[in-house]
Amino acid sequence: MLRLKLLCLNIRKHPLGSLMIVLLIAFSVALSMTVNLQERAFREGSTKAAERFDLVIGGLGSETQLVLSTVYLQPAMLPLIPTQHLTELEKNPQVQWAAPLAFGDFYQGMPLVGTNKAFIAHNYTLQQGRNFEQHYEAVVGKKTGLNIGDVFSPVHGQIGESGAHAHEAVEYRVVGVLPEEQSIWDSAILVPIESIWDIHAHHDHEDTHAHEDAHEHADLGVSAIIVKPKTFSAAYNLRAQYRNEHTQALFPAEVLVKIYSILGDSKTVLTWIASITQILVATALMMVIVLYFRQQQRQIAAWRIFGAPRHKILLFAWLSLLLLVVIAMVLGTMLGYMVAQVIANALSAKSGFAMPVYLQGEDAYHLFLLFIIAMCIALIPSFILYRQSPTQILNKD
């Protein structure tokens, strides 16, 4: 206890040098922690958001865009595919369930997603209310701000975009609320796809007679189809079947792996930058430590003259630095965690899925390695002091 008090008094006696050492080490630790935590948060968050999408079938085009639009509800113009594919899949013995997705309409900036009852029944347990039964009923995400019984009118496109217009004659009534799951779907509004077809069929063909609606609905098509295969082999069979000159079929997980490979390259670059920065920090740290001990030379010489053993002075100098290192590593870890959390929250607001930031064993191992390195670095100036005699120190001054 007495030794700890002496160490604290020694640090307080040289506040500037102590502060510089703590700040340099804390910055180095925070930089490493932020890169590692944020990269892991993105991987886990994006993977969890895609769990319910086993197989996605859509029109020809970018695989990445199809995943971004269907899984993460990022607005984009997707080519439509005929509804006959949905009918075929619903009758296919290899399919457990299939659900269409149709996009394009919004309410106060929140996306309306046209789908069927199966998509809700197989993916959610409603927090309130029931699944939709009628064409103009809606099941809403928890963060939409809508409650059971609320009535609203959608808008085609985003307000301010070219071609955006309100469907003033259309009213949806909320009949169910989904549980919150920390994803973009918390702000989604799920409606029967027949209502989406009906709205746009009448908008595009205002003179159309009622008996022609069914044919028009079939012509409108769907943006994508989500398929739940019964088995792994069925999933691969279906993907092969719908990979043709008219449609594409993909596993979102495979597309995410490609994205992660790109992110892996980015992480490598960031890691190299962080490593170079840490080398510069370590160099600066050595200079600060040398200056820090030079400030204490006269004090250490006095201890030696009054009979303090060399090994105890070496231990005291070494422990003084280690105490600063521990303080710096704790502060750096806290700072890195907070920065990673701020970045994750900002990216979550844009990407639409939660990014969990947390520490795990890998981070503790990384911190332990940094501590070992710091222990070794701290020995260098301590040994320099150990080798010097009190007369050499006083003569220099």
Residues 100, 86: Cα–Cα separation, whole Å:
7
For residues 218 and 285, state if they share a domain: no
Tokens of 270: 């960031």
Partners of 222 in the β-ladder: 81
- 244 and 296 housed in the same domain: no
Q: Using one digit for the tens of pLDDT, what is the confidence trace for 242-298?
A: 999 999 999 998 888 887 776 666 666 666 776 777 676 777 767 766 666 666 666
| Neighbour-count burial of 369, counting CB atoms closer than 10 A to its CB (0-12 exposed, 13-18 middle, 19+ buried) | exposed
Task: Give the β-pairing of 172-177 and 137-140.
Answer: parallel
For residue 50, the tally of other CB atoms under 10 A from its CB is 21
Tens-place pLDDT, residues 210-251: 444 444 444 578 999 999 999 999 999 999 999 999 999 999
CB under 8 Å to 40, separation ≥6 — which residues?
none
Q: Can you give the residue range of the structural domain that contains 195?
A: 51-258
Domain limit, last residue, from 239, 258, 277:
258
150 shares its domain with 228 = yes
Whether residue 225 sits in one domain with residue 182:
yes
Q: How confident is the model at residue 208 (pLDDT cuts 50, 70, 90)?
A: very low
Q: How far is CA 62 from CA 52, 216, 263, 306, in A?
A: 21, 27, 18, 79
pLDDT tens string 364-383: 888 888 888 877 777 776 66
My answer on whether 322 and 232 are in the same domain is no
What is the C-alpha radius of gyration for the chain, rounded to an integer number of angstroms?
32
Do 240 and 289 lie in one domain? The reply is: no
Show Cβ contacts of residue 362 under 8 Å, excluding neighbours closer than 6 positions.
Answer: 36
Q: Are residues 230 and 133 in the same domain?
A: yes
At 153-202, the pLDDT tens digits run 988 766 545 455 566 678 999 999 999 888 889 999 999 999 988 887 65
Q: Pseudo-torsion of CA 171, 142, 252, 99, nearest 10°? A: -40
* Mean pLDDT for the stretch of residues 381-390: 64
Q: How many domains does the chain have?
A: 2
**Do residue 7 and residue 24 come from a single domain?**
yes
In terms of pTM, does the model score above 0.85?
Answer: no
Say whether both 195 and 179 belong to one domain: yes
pLDDT, residue 151, reads 94
* Backbone phi, psi, residue 251, to 5°: -95, 120
Burial 196-209, CB ≥16 within 10 A → b, else e? bbbbbbbeeeeeee
Per-residue confidence (pLDDT) for residue 326, from 0 to 100: 87
Are residues 195 and 288 both part of a single domain?
no
Q: Which pairing describes strands 189-192 and 110-115: parallel, antiparallel, or unpaired?
A: parallel
Choose the weakest-confidence range: 160-169, 313-322, 381-390: 160-169
Are residues 9 and 57 part of one domain? no
**Residue 107, Ramachandran bin (φ over 0: left; ψ between -120 and 50: alpha; else beta):** beta
Q: Examine the domain organization and report whether 380 and 271 are in the same domain.
A: yes
Strand 155-156 relative to strand 105-107: parallel, antiparallel, unpaired? Answer: antiparallel
Residue type, 286: M
Q: Does residue 17 sit in helix, strand or coil?
A: helix
Q: Single out the residue in 258, 287, 309 at which a domain terminates.
A: 258
* Domain finish residue from 243, 258, 273: 258
